[in-house]
Structure 1
């Protein structure tokens, strides 16, 4: 996956959220490595894991994850002959207890999470090692039961300490007058009493320390020196036996190196899976269908970083069309729509649940490339246009049936005339490649391209013209306006400026009318191809491109569409068919029932006139009163046959006229 695209679509923020839910360092490492997979089976497995963990959390269960504190350095030293200390072995014992708890827990939850419960079967609770550690170590110290010799040595230590204590109590009374206070303490692991410096000679013995003021000396009386020496010998014996016991325990732990490593891996996986589930619950994520084909259908989708404040989005790509051209006002949600589509694909392919409703479906894509944001870079000396071209070049290189390409603000950052031509050429190339593409634009030429090109679809962000407020709702099948004047007034531009702008626009529209008429023949050609028998998408795109490129050389804002007419439809009118969400040509005007026959792709369909909207009047599409409409509605073979029939009789010559649907 493209790293720049991951950042543009804010995938890094999703990853940070998942990381924050991990409880162990090993689980955090897995979360930091999270990225979308292009393997369908892998994605399906990840989604199953996350869904099951989400179900576990929803059931009110508390998954007994381990933070694995101290286990990572312990595992790093395995196999290197280290003798572990009591604290390290105690941590191992606690860790093995948590492994046993996880195995028991998962075994009891097989009915909720059969897949991840089976993962616990690969964990080893190592009962022999765990029991041995529990017998030998308690609260981070070796127990007397760790070995017979250790128990024997400690009995002698306890006895020696008891003798010393009794002897010192006697010396406290014996040297009472020379003491600062009658207490026994330890200095350098020796039992001592506090003697006044000036009376030091009254207490024969060894000075081991003195107070900070120097007025008190800590003296080991000669009366207990022999006992202290005996105690020291037993302490040395204890240290030797302690080393023997710890060595044996360490050796036993080394024997379980494989099992311990598998346990760490499994617990880290549980931690990562649970973190994905916690993140999914935090955004009200649901498991949606993973399609075999590269398609996208979102129903009630909410951008995961916006949460409840976002307006549910419904959109699709890869079913009836491969390109979706989104129009509408600024701040209307066009860019958020692109980001939602792209981010949902990345999240699903990372095994994450997404906030969408039932009926949503996403396929697996090999490439996701997004051109969102102006991309300016002072360091790389990239202008907005240069940045767009850089990304477009990358898109064209990876364009294929399993590619998702997101283009924000087509034709932005340069002269609109050239930008529009370049944008349409790119869209044609992407369409021919079979890639899915969603793009935003303000330009009418690109809207018209989408309306007359098979495989393309218009969509608009809804706008309340009364309140001048964007509704952030995508409506498929129609193109939207920028509402620039209305928004400008809403944000307080002086009325004098607005009226002047309207005058200029009206003047410009008048001057462009003739130029706009020059654009109609190209559009007519595209519609004729649409009406012909089975013209392919590439042919339509090429026909439209020829006309549109000639037009954009002459004007920046030519409007190829006409306003709806109030007069009845005529044969030859180009109309927009709402049920089919595409254009067609009127074959027979409305009858007494209001039914109109429209030709689409060489086939004739009947629609109620209320389901149609005049797109381009016949007069503009077919100049001249004597224009032969058979060119539009009949096949070349039938026209040739009719011509022959008017001249002479031809045996076996027939004309086949397709019926209505």
Structure 2
């Protein structure tokens, strides 16, 4: 991608659109798909991506909650499967949740082949993982290995329960007999052993091992001799329990290793569906539609809005690429000319990325290899470039690659220089872009460019409508007519002296009369 192309994507807001789509993803694979998202120039690829987005939007309109897995914990599991690593009970809880979500999505999509054939195909392509889900549910519950996971584990845990009860009975008896020498009537744990808090002055009144003492030294924590043997037995049982749990986890890990490829395939499909539904969710934020696409450079956007300012914007109709490939847009400052360029550029990138757009479904968009914009904020303070120089650098970059598969958007062509030279240079550049077959939209205040467009085949004028009475822009693009900058009307309404307005009108009249 050229530098002007990268800057154009940023200036058009493409990165922000991707961020907005990302906010609707649930999984790390879905986020990865968004990160890799970029405009495509392949017609069938774009058609398929648009169809997928439209299917997702349709399904979301009938059911807001689609059973998609968040895939929490799955990234590390899929990285470690087949490496000899033994998964933990918590890992299997994550895996069980994932497998359950796969099952739910398959069930949900089973009846959606007619409504969403492409998404249905993705879901039905997921692979069978045998009895893995059933065995995880039998052996694991809430991140722990359950008693019924194996007969030996169940036996060991019964013995643990019996031994703990014996210890508790012994401790209760000791506390009752020795309450007078205890610092507090509470049994606690030290180093994994049950201990009783005894006043140091009564150390010799209880046989046992001291495991700790209080900060003041007034209390010592003794493991009574009467429960030491039982505690040793309990610790041995805990070791047996850990061994049996390890056998269960090893068994389940073996099942996972056997279906490694199936799991990875299913995770990829879930991530793909997450990505598609994220596009559908994003489209619903501005009632996006699937539009028609072509490879002939024909643009016909109807009731189009910029998705990042959707609520505030008046819908636009923009057409180019058919009877004319170059459109000269005129109108007052703050009248919406720049927004028009940015809207066309961004919606084009979105469509080529398989995203639905805020436009009427009868709209048509073209596929372009290059979508490039040069706007006023290309001025670089760091490089001390004037507006004109910055514009020229951008246009030079465009001319290096411009061809019949290029969409060129230039705001205020040749601004910031001598009008005479600027006009001549603007016409030469537009002629060259037209000769190469590029589709171009250019904004200007120069009347000469309006005249050029009206008299030259392949060029057309357009204007941003403006209410001269209220001095309010109407943000409506009218194609086929040139507009005015309304500088004198605005100046008059703001209060500039009448004789200055009259003199300005006289100068304008004389200027064009002598030509």
Partner of 1:503: 503
Q: Which of residues 30, 44, 65 in structure 2 aligns to 1:27? A: 30
1:54-93 paired onto structure 2 within 5 Å: 54-93=57-96
Partner of 1:50: 53
Partner of 2:223: 220
The CA distance in 1 between the partners of 2:91 and 2:220, in whole Å, is: 39
1:283-362 paired onto structure 2 within 5 Å: 283-362=286-365
Which secondary structure does the structure 1 equivalent of 2:376 belong to?
Answer: coil
Q: Which of residues 190, 203, 207 in structure 1 aligns to 2:206? A: 203
Q: Quick check: 1:150 aligned with 2:156?
A: no
1:260-275 paired onto structure 2 within 5 Å: 260-275=263-278
Q: Quick check: 1:103 aligned with 2:106?
A: yes
Q: Which of residues 394, 407, 417 in structure 2 aligns to 1:414? A: 417
Q: Which runs of 5 or more residues in structure 1 are unaligned? A: 517-661
Q: Offset of 1:32 from its aligned partner?
A: 2.2
Alignment check: 8 A CA contact 1:374 1:388 kept: no
The CA distance in 2 between the partners of 1:393 and 1:487, in whole Å, is: 35
Equivalences, count: 512
1:262-661 paired onto structure 2 within 5 Å: 262-490=265-493, 492-495=494-497, 499-500=499-500, 502-507=502-507, 509-510=509-510, 513-514=513-514, 516=515
Partner of 2:179: 176
Q: Which of residues 190, 194, 210 in structure 1 aligns to 2:193? A: 190
Q: Which runs of 5 or more residues in structure 2 are unaligned? A: none
Higher RCO, 1 vs 2 (CA within 8 Å, ≥6 residues apart): 2
Against the structure 1 CA distance between its residues 508 and 479, is the aligned structure 2 distance closer, same or farther, given a 3 Å change threshold? closer
Alignment check: 8 A CA contact 1:83 1:247 kept: yes
The CA distance in 2 between the partners of 1:475 and 1:170, in whole Å, is: 96
Which secondary structure does the structure 2 equivalent of 1:306 belong to?
Answer: helix
Alignment check: 8 A CA contact 1:35 1:350 kept: yes
> Given the two structures, how large is their TM-score scaled by the length of structure 2?
0.95
| RMSD (Å), alpha carbons | 1.8
Q: After superposition, what is the alpha-carbon deviation per residue over 1:126-164, rounded to whole angstroms, capped at 9, x for unaligned?
A: 241111111111121111222222222222222222222
The CA distance in 2 between the partners of 1:433 and 1:511, in whole Å, is: 34
Q: Offset of 1:120 from its aligned partner?
A: 0.6
Identify the range of structure 1 (369-378 vs 197-206) with the bigger mean alpha-carbon deviation. Answer: 369-378
The CA distance in 2 between the partners of 1:61 and 1:468, in whole Å, is: 44
Which secondary structure does the structure 1 equivalent of 2:388 belong to?
Answer: helix
Against the structure 1 CA distance between its residues 120 and 379, is the aligned structure 2 distance closer, same or farther, given a 3 Å change threshold? same
Partner of 2:256: 253
Structure showing greater radius of gyration is 1
Alignment check: 8 A CA contact 2:391 2:414 kept: no
Against the structure 1 CA distance between its residues 374 and 158, is the aligned structure 2 distance closer, same or farther, given a 3 Å change threshold? closer
Q: After superposition, what is the alpha-carbon deviation per residue over 1:438-459, rounded to whole angstroms, capped at 9, x for unaligned?
A: 1111111111111111111111
Alignment check: 8 A CA contact 2:69 2:98 kept: yes
Q: Which of residues 160, 172, 184 in structure 1 aligns to 2:163? A: 160
Partner of 1:608: none
Q: After superposition, what is the alpha-carbon deviation per residue over 1:380-402, rounded to whole angstroms, capped at 9, x for unaligned?
A: 33321111111211222222222
Against the structure 1 CA distance between its residues 475 and 180, is the aligned structure 2 distance closer, same or farther, given a 3 Å change threshold? same
Which secondary structure does the structure 2 equivalent of 1:290 belong to?
Answer: strand
The CA distance in 2 between the partners of 1:143 and 1:26, in whole Å, is: 31
Q: After superposition, what is the alpha-carbon deviation per residue over 1:151-195, rounded to whole angstroms, capped at 9, x for unaligned?
A: 222222222222222222222233232223444332222122221
The CA distance in 1 between the partners of 2:118 and 2:513, in whole Å, is: 66
Alignment check: 8 A CA contact 1:100 1:125 kept: no
Alignment check: 8 A CA contact 2:409 2:442 kept: yes
> Given the two structures, how large is their TM-score scaled by the length of structure 1?
0.75
